[in-house]
Structure 1
Amino acid sequence: MEKLTKKLNGSFNKVYDYSESEGIDMRTAAFCIAIERIEKAYVQRGIFP
């Protein structure tokens, strides 16, 4: 349970910080972070040049 709590708190803080810095709502911030993670994975695998 401790690991899960740590992970959830970390994820929440990332989304909250992103939403505050960009001036957007939390839901949109979560989508933006997810898209950035997908982009990073694609670049690492060489899918996008």
Structure 2
Amino acid sequence: MAQEEKLQDLKLRLAAFMSRLEEMEPEETSVQDIDQLIHMLEELEKKM
């Protein structure tokens, strides 16, 4: 994957993560929701 494509992919993944985080209601957030966020962060880290 070219550098520009990799950067674009990372931006999209980060935007998806931020969107998911902003949509969450603290009172309704489950452990599974937090696990999904952690998994998304791990995937971002692997792509870097």
TM-score, normalising length: structure 1:
0.46
Structure with larger RCO (C-alpha < 8 A, sep 6+): 2
TM-score, normalising length: structure 2:
0.47
| Bigger radius of gyration among the two | 1
